[in-house]
């Protein structure tokens, strides 16, 4: 699976990119029709501690899934976004099974 990582207005280090790559690639175990994904890392302008935002768009055949999570660290927000996408994938799989 192709994982495209974009850090907006900052440079993400290799360790963070490797962590995100590993987490997002695990989603292919739940559904084999994943074509690719786009990950955006952003910093919120608000003064609170939870200012790290991870947005993940999962590209699958005929449909896109999206999750956006905000947390204290990019790793934590990535974990929450991947978990949300895992739930969306399982729902999508159930719907596609019922069609056939």
Question: Can you give the pLDDT at residue 39?
Answer: 97
- 13 near 75, Cβ under 8 Å? no
Burial-class residue 79 by CB neighbours within 10 Å (0-12, 13-18, 19+). middle
Confidence band, pLDDT 50/70/90 cuts, at residue 96: confident
Question: Structure pTM?
Answer: 0.90
Structure tokens, 2: 């192709």
For residue 40, pLDDT over 90 is answered with yes
Indicate if the alpha-carbon torsion angle 42, 5, 79, 67 is positive or negative: positive
Question: Hey, what domains does the chain have and what are their CATH numbers?
Answer: 2-99 (3.30.160.100)
Mean pLDDT, to the nearest integer, of 81-85? 97
Question: Can you give the pLDDT at residue 23?
Answer: 95
């Amino acid at each position: 699976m192709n994982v495209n990582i974009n850090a907006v207005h900052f440079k993400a280090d290799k360790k963070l990119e490797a962590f995100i790559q590993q987490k997002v690639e695990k989603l292919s175990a739940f559904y084999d029709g994943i074509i690719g994904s786009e990950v955006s890392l952003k910093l919120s302008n608000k003064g609170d501690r939870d200012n790290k935002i991870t947005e993940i768009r999962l590209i699958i055949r005929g449909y896109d899934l999206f999750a956006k999570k905000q947390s204290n660290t990019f790793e934590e927000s990535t974990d929450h976004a991947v978990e949300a996408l895992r739930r969306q994938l399982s729902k999508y799989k159930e719907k596609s099974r019922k069609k056939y």
